[in-house]
Chain A
Amino acid sequence: MATIPAEATEPAGTREGILRGMLVEFDTPGQLIAAANRVREAGYKRFDAHSPFPIHGIDEAVGIRMTILPWIVMAGGMFGLLNGLFLQWYTNAVDAESLSLIPTFLQGYNYLVSGKPYFSLPANIPVIFELTILLSAIAAVIGMLVLNNLPLFYNPVFNVARFRKVTDDKFFLVVDARDSKFDARATDELLSGLGGTAVEPILEYPSPSALPRPFLTLGVIVTLVALIPPALIWKAWVSKSSKPRIHIIQDMDNQAKFKDQRASVLFADGRSMRPPVPGTVARGDLQHDDHFFRGIVGEAWSTTFPLHKLPVDDALLDRGQQRFGVYCAPCHGLTGDGQGLVNQRAIELGGAWVPPANLHEAQYRERALGHLFNTISNGIRSMPQYGDAIPPADRWAIVAYVRALQRSQFATIDDVPAAERAQMPSAARPAEATEE
């Protein structure tokens, strides 16, 4: 056994230590590998090599087997994958009625996102992927810690002063006393024969194992304090209160003003909304022009456009086409034939449905302009009134466009100027087709 420098010795004489293992020190990594091979061949299992840097071949020399960490990571990843899949299926794809036994707050909710199916893999894969990665990473970290017995706050090997050199330029082989082959004398002999610069026992000195009193007190206090929030939540959960909920985020919800249809103590009639003063009209609300605002001339529906208010020109027809596309086409269809998407869908779904009018029927072609205007303004049958949504000028534009549509469906070749007939494709020229 090599001599131990005086400054490196623990006060072994003053306290009795328990033998936890034995270490041997080397100057080169080559010696360490050779020594590890010898110790492994001698039948030892619980021993470890310590070096300032990674050494090629040390794994084989110490006899380290393949780690099972990849399997732990894979299990974590698979759990994340299935979890992500289940989470999205349960929260969005399960019909709530099939879960009547489960409390409402634990039920999923069918939430439609941009018309996609409730459960569709392309949308689910990013979440599945992220959860797989997350749980793989967590499994890798925790698995690594557990497999390495970490965190380890204390290791008796640090009682050996010379072991500090392990982060600098020395190489150590440590044999654990728990090894079945470990024997103080025999192991000492084996290690001494390895050609190291020093062999030293690793001693653990008895230290008080009881938790210090201040730590205990602190622990009790922290535990009790930590119980307060859950206790409050639990109390709120089980008790009933007539007060409104605690409104933490205000979002300007409560303001010092009256809202529509609310009671007021300020006015004698108790209403917060004020009716107009009798005999007055608000600025801009005087709609005395019956022709323009109601489509009535004299006692009958107007058969002319209110030309004194707006000219009937290309601009009006363009505006009418655009407004028709916005408000009318969903039901009446882009050509006004009553086959809009809403109608198609309603027929597909079945049930009671009043189909929108085909505007090309004779009764609508012959209907007075003012009458059409009135229908748009006030609605008819299941068609709602659009007077509030569409300004009068735009309603007249729609009327003009409806007339244009009606004419387009009953056009003859005479409607095309003679100069432009030649440019028409032959299919659109029935007269010439018959000549051929």
Chain B
Amino acid sequence: MKAPDISADRLHIRDLAPGLSNLLWLGGLVALVAGLLLATASGTETFLRAYLTGFMFTLSLALGALFFVLLQHATRAGWSVVVRRIAEYFTCGFGILAVLSLPIIIAMVLQPDILGIRAAIHDIFPWTSELIVWGDNTAAHPGDEILQGKSGFLSTPFFVLRMVAYFGIWLWLSHFFLSRSLQQDQSGDPQLSLQMQTRSYPGMILFALSLSFVAIDLLMSLDPHWFSTIFGVYYFGGSALGFFSLLAVTMFWLQSNGRMSQAITVEHYHDVGKLAFAFIVFWAYIAFSQYMLIWYGNLPEETAWLTVRQSPTWAPVSLLLLFGHFVIPFLALISRVPKRGRYGLVAAALWILVMHLCDMIWLVFPHVNHGGDHAIASFGVLDVIQIVLCTLGILGLYLGRVVRASAQGSLLPERDPRLPESLAFHNF
């Protein structure tokens, strides 16, 4: 098998980038503003939950991209060099994501008593409320012994400190790998590959810890009584799967726009499809492990979390995840044929991205009303619209940044020593 000739390929999107990124930014801002306006109808709490959903969805894609880059360096992967730069560009969004995390953090720190923000934050993150945690010696607010025990970790100053640390780690890692990779485009120095490989190992450890803890901080602490030691891995499985889907869609979009026409072959689609398939199973495995241990153990503080998700309001979404996030994509991608057919893979990838968003909704929205009665909070059309607006807003701003960043260089690491291997890559 001869390597494809890429001399005629267009390996950049400098012509598309400015217009596209402006469009994405504008669209993102419009969606967010529309979401804010809708908040007057849907309520502050719904808006904040929808915003958190969109944020965690977009963050998971960026984290998945960072994982992909680290993994390729750590394993000295040959096949993936052609598509690695795309992933590197997708890690460029941590700056804007840090900015987008500020509304949550500021609301949490200041807890301003305007527009119902204070009450909403207390409902979403009960551990931020002094009254809920420590009480005031009345029957209505007896305090919460469990949260008092967790108050060392779940305290606002420490929370802010951790968020700073996470984004510091991600910004540093993404900057390091992209800048070295771009540097290699100029110098062609193979030492850079070795340097990136060496750094990828501690990078992977930092990545694993930061991802697990951000999942605990922003998702698990929504129900601070509940705990699941596998939760970080659960979020990781969804993140990796989400990114592999995004990668397949991006490869398809680039080729549809006449970029990398020869460089990306059906073999690369096949491998991205295989990774996506593996992580469909991985996600389901982790999700089921989490579910079964809680089900078997039958401890009240653990089952409460699932009881809410098995209530009539949320059971349909739980079943949607079981079939839509696992069974359907599993059967769709199990064969070699759809993974090698671009349309089949991209259709599956888009479906998975939607399901991944449903997974985030499933993690953020279901909760028991904190207004005294213990009814399960309802979920309606307004919530869905709010989620779509917030997700499109945050995703648009993030993608705008990614597109802008990708204008600074080539779409593939042109002088990576393993590029010829990747171009000639062939699945047996």
Contact = CB atoms under 8 A, between A and B. Distances in A.
Interface stretch (B125-133, B287-295, B368-376): B287-295
A328 to B, nearest CB: 25
Nearest to B139: A425
A28 to B, nearest CB: 15
Question: Which interface residue of B296, B335, B336 has the most chain A CB atoms within 10 A?
Answer: B296
A57 B296 contact: no
A125 B291 CA distance: 11
Contact of B298 (A54, A70, A114, A126): A114
B428 A122 contact: no
A57 B1 contact: yes
Given A56-B1, A425-B139, A122 B426 contact: no
B428 A54 contact: yes
A125 B1 contact: no
A59 B296 CA distance: 50
A126 B139 contact: no
B295 A122 contact: yes
A125 B426 contact: no
A57 B295 CA distance: 51
Contacts of A126: 292
A56 B292 contact: no
Interface in A311-333: none
A293 to B, nearest CB: 43
A66 B424 CA distance: 21
Given A122-B291, A125-B288, A425-B139, A56 B426 contact: yes
Nearest to A423: B137
Contact of B292 (A114, A115, A125): A125
Nearest to B289: A126
> Taking chain B's interface residues, is the majority helix, strand, or loop, or is none over half, making it mixed?
loop
A116 B298 CA distance: 10
B362 to A, nearest CB: 18
Contacts of B295: 122-123
A125 B322 CA distance: 14
Contact of B296 (A54, A56, A122, A425): A122
Interface in B263-320: 288, 291-292, 295-296, 298
Nearest to A33: B1
A70 B334 CA distance: 10
Given A56-B1, A425-B139, A123 B296 contact: yes
Contacts of B291: 122
A51 to B, nearest CB: 13
Interface residues of A, number: 15
Contacts of B296: 114, 116, 122-123
Nearest to A115: B298
Contacts of A115: 298
Contacts of B426: 56-57
Interface in A383-436: 425, 427
Interface string B329-356: 0000001100000000000000000000
Contacts of B424: 56
Contacts of B292: 122-123, 125-126
Interface string A109-134: 00000111000001101100000000
Nearest to A113: B296
Nearest to A123: B296
A144 B182 CA distance: 46
A19 to B, nearest CB: 33
Contacts of A116: 296
Nearest to B335: A70
A57 B426 CA distance: 9
A260 to B, nearest CB: 39
Nearest to A74: B334
Nearest to B297: A114
A427 B292 CA distance: 44
Nearest to A426: B139
Contacts of B335: 70
A116 B1 CA distance: 58
Interface string A49-72: 000001011010000001000100
A60 to B, nearest CB: 9
Interface string A121-156: 011011000000000000000000000000000000
A123 B428 CA distance: 38
B421 to A, nearest CB: 12
A122 B306 CA distance: 13
Contacts of A59: 428
Nearest to B428: A54
Interface in A222-272: none
Nearest to B298: A114
A122 B298 CA distance: 12
Question: Which interface residue of A56, A70, A425 has the most chain B CB atoms within 10 A?
Answer: A56
Interface in B136-153: 138-139
A125 B138 CA distance: 47
A117 B159 CA distance: 42
B222 to A, nearest CB: 24
A126 to B, nearest CB: 7
B278 to A, nearest CB: 15
Contacts of A123: 292, 295-296
A56 B336 CA distance: 18
A115 B295 CA distance: 12
Question: Which interface residue of A57, A66, A122, A126 has the most chain B CB atoms within 10 A?
Answer: A122
A70 B335 CA distance: 9
Interface in A47-105: 54, 56-57, 59, 66, 70
B288 to A, nearest CB: 6
Interface in B366-400: none
Contacts of A427: 139
Nearest to A116: B296
A123 B298 CA distance: 13
Nearest to B292: A122
Contacts of B288: 125
A415 B298 CA distance: 42
A427 B138 CA distance: 12
A129 to B, nearest CB: 9
A180 to B, nearest CB: 29
Contacts of A125: 288, 292
The 8 closest A-B pairs by CB, nearest first: A56-B1, A122-B295, A57-B1, A56-B426, A122-B292, A425-B139, A125-B288, A122-B291
8 contacts: A54-B428, A56-B1, A70-B336, A116-B296, A125-B292, A126-B292, A425-B138, A425-B139
Given A122-B291, A122-B295, A126-B292, 18 more contacts: A56-B424, A57-B1, A57-B426, A59-B428, A66-B336, A114-B296, A114-B298, A115-B298, A116-B296, A122-B292, A122-B296, A123-B292, A123-B295, A123-B296, A125-B288, A125-B292, A425-B139, A427-B139
